[in-house]
Structure 1
Amino acid sequence: MAQIAKIPVIDISGDGDQEQVAKELVEAAIEHGFIYIKNTGKDIPADAIERAFDLSKKLFKAPLEEKQACTIQKNNRGWSAMQYETLDPATQRVGDFKEAFNFGEFVDGKADQPIPPTIAEEEDQINEFRELCYQLCLKINTLLGIGLQVTPPDFFRDAHLHSKGASGTILRFLYYPPHTETPSADREADVRAGAHSDYGSMTLLFRLKGQAGLEILTQDGKTWAPVPVVPPGTENDPSPPILLNIGDLLSYWTNGLLRSTVHRVVFPGPGKGAVEGETDTEPRYSMAFFCHPVGTTPLTAVPSERVRSYNGGTDEGNPYAERKVLTADEHLMMRLKASYLQLYKDKE
């Protein structure tokens, strides 16, 4: 069994010294790029997460014609079918073995996109969960500003305020069928989600106990390490910790100081390093909140002495960290074109 990923668990609930918490958060973002956010229930209640997962299961069980009517568009909203998205086109034989549904912004509590009738009555619930995720990201952005001694410290937070304009922020529901329901998949060669780093500022990832598959690429650039849903010490928390990971945009924005870590979702069969107690015999569900700044935000270097003085960079081997775009929207579009080959090939 492969050694599990070494990822710190940080409590940002507000019970401790926030300057110290901010420092710990920044150091973890620099060293690991992935951070467990201890879920005490203060920021996102356990029952809100449970209800959102129930809604996700209901959505993916909706009739195919309902989902097809909401097929993903170039605004990155809607349903993507099994194998429609290819997160690692350079190495994947076929597309990802997953379904996904992306929710963009809500206007006056209503989704600004088509949604399947099966879940139409729960539209307000989706909006409420999305808002909880958004507020948590604002809190994390504030802490990152404090920890990096940015001037002003609310620099990141202000760049993500909805009141300042539209953004690429997405709430994504994901469904991965078990291997027994994907007979065309080669369990050793294929993946459920190809190796990639995330596109935006940061991602909040919610997972269910016992559901295996997530791995991160360790710093040697060769070894994959499984990421437990429930790391040691969190077994008695109200719900599993929220997994925070730094995205390419925030890495780019900080001159590579904050780490954007490559990860994937596999079929964790024999020899794949599954975590004890986790399997892929059942469907795997997860929810990701991809947080982006306002689309017109210029991605000039962050006003932080630590960022200005950093010369390490992370652009080696990561073309999405190279300084070649000007705004948040341009950065997002560069990534979407690489992942949705069918969408852009068919409509350009």
Structure 2
Amino acid sequence: MAKVAKIPIIDISADSEQDQRQVAKELVEAAVEHGFIYIKNTGKDIPVEAVEAAFELSKKLFNAPLAEKQACAYQSNNRGWSAMHYETLDPKNQRVGDFKEAFNFGEFINGKAQQPIPASIAEHESQISAFRDLCYNMCLKLNTLLGIGLDVNPPDFFTQAHKTERGASGTILRLLYYPPLPQTSATAHDVRAGAHSDYGSLTLLFRLRGQAGLEIRTPDASWAPVPVSPPGTEADPAPPILVNIGDLLSYWTNGLLRSTVHRVVFPGPGGGLVDGETDTEPRYSMAFFCHPVGTTPLAVVPSERVRKFRAANEAAAAQDGERKVMTADEHLQMRLRASYKQMYSDKE
């Protein structure tokens, strides 16, 4: 068995104020040390049935006729279908684009998508909207807990920055499909999704049992697989939700919260396969990329712990005078231009 990543498993379902403070502390420590956190899916915040139904819709979407998907092709607003090899998450090290298909859903209004969607799933539009809402509310809860755990003043600082009533954001629900190695032209050196950190504040990742591929970069610069069902969760109704800190929360906290680099690979029998997982079948996952309102300035968060961390970190302190306070949208556009060079070069 491959040496797996050591990621804490946290149950955030507690209701009492005292219990929530303890959970908030655990979340922050996991975000500082690992940047990734397993959240037990008790079904309280996101019902197991909703996750299962969303995966069924994902399979239906990627099995839709090619013409349907092409009619919803990816646009510069970060919505729509991207074909195999269209996105390149690690352009410096990849010979070709990622071995995956993806479909990005932006905002819904009154259950209606504000973008074209394939006819094969059109009747399920409100279901997709409802699942997106569940993910959004989960992220608000996590942002609140992180604010409490960091003693931010006010503690709902992060949460308020993500409230949809304050304006539009880059938040995206992304469905993903990765074909197995025999169905691709990949070589032993290719990856399904290149090494990258996530662009937003928080990411919720949903995976199916038995489907291998995700790895994170460890502090010693090696790669460690991230099991879908870590030890102790095998009998849970659903695999835990994997949460990772994105670039914006790291930037907001001056690097205190870790935005960890990760990738999706073809593990192979001699590589990073975890017991009970395989890379011989198609891999499906769903990622909810949570972003603050686009006009939000990414100034250092008002937290004493963040201030002390910055003061103790000589490299960060030396850059204080050069630090550019960009907005959430400016940061997102910077990252998208690097991943979709062909699209943006065509427009310039």
TM range (shorter): over 0.9
Structure 1 equivalent of residue 338 of structure 2: 338
Deviation string 1:172-216 (CA, Å, 9 cap, x unpaired) is 00000011110x100x20000000000000100000000000000
- Does the C-alpha gap of structure 1 residues 77 and 287 become closer, same or farther in structure 2, counting only changes over 3 Å? same
Query: Separation in 2 of the partners of 1:87 and 1:174?
Result: 14
- 2:341 maps to a residue whose letter is L
Q: CA deviation at 1:315?
A: 8.5
Query: Separation in 2 of the partners of 1:229 and 1:325?
Result: 37
- Does the C-alpha gap of structure 1 residues 146 and 234 become closer, same or farther in structure 2, counting only changes over 3 Å? same
Query: Given that residues 256 and 314 in structure 1 are in contact (C-alpha distance below 8 angstroms), is that contact kept between their aligned partners in structure 2?
Result: no
- Greater Cα offset, 272-281 or 46-55: 272-281
Structure 1 equivalent of residue 319 of structure 2: none
Aligned pairs for 1:151-170 (under 5 A) are 151-170=153-172
| Partner SS state of residue 310, structure 1 | helix
Q: CA deviation at 1:56?
A: 0.2
| Partner SS state of residue 338, structure 1 | helix
Find runs of 4+ consecutive structure 1 residues off by over 3 angstroms: 312-316, 322-325
Query: Given that residues 299 and 325 in structure 2 are in contact (C-alpha distance below 8 angstroms), is that contact kept between their aligned partners in structure 1?
Result: no
Aligned pairs for 1:22-37 (under 5 A) are 22-37=24-39
Query: Given that residues 210 and 279 in structure 1 are in contact (C-alpha distance below 8 angstroms), is that contact kept between their aligned partners in structure 2?
Result: yes
- TM-score with structure 1 setting the length: 0.95
Query: Given that residues 257 and 314 in structure 1 are in contact (C-alpha distance below 8 angstroms), is that contact kept between their aligned partners in structure 2?
Result: no
What's the Cα RMSD here? 1.4
Aligned pairs for 1:117-196 (under 5 A) are 117-182=119-184, 184-186=185-187, 188-196=188-196
Query: Separation in 1 of the partners of 2:333 and 2:126?
Result: 28
Structure 2 equivalent of residue 319 of structure 1: none
Structure 2 equivalent of residue 4 of structure 1: 4
Query: Separation in 2 of the partners of 1:9 and 1:315?
Result: 31
Structure 2: runs of 5+ lacking an equivalent: 317-321
- TM-score with structure 2 setting the length: 0.95
Matched, 1:14 2:14: yes
Q: CA deviation at 1:347?
A: 2.1
Structure 1 equivalent of residue 324 of structure 2: 324
Q: CA deviation at 1:298?
A: 0.6
Alignment length, in residue pairs? 340
User: Share of identical aligned residues, percent?
Assistant: 77
Q: CA deviation at 1:237?
A: 1.3
| Partner SS state of residue 309, structure 2 | coil
Query: Given that residues 71 and 78 in structure 1 are in contact (C-alpha distance below 8 angstroms), is that contact kept between their aligned partners in structure 2?
Result: yes
Q: CA deviation at 1:346?
A: 1.8
Q: CA deviation at 1:14?
A: 1.8
Matched, 1:242 2:241: yes
Aligned pairs for 1:76-91 (under 5 A) are 76-91=78-93
- Greater Cα offset, 292-301 or 338-347: 338-347
Q: CA deviation at 1:271?
A: 2.5
Q: CA deviation at 1:252?
A: 0.4
- 1:103 maps to a residue whose letter is F
- Does the C-alpha gap of structure 1 residues 102 and 313 become closer, same or farther in structure 2, counting only changes over 3 Å? farther
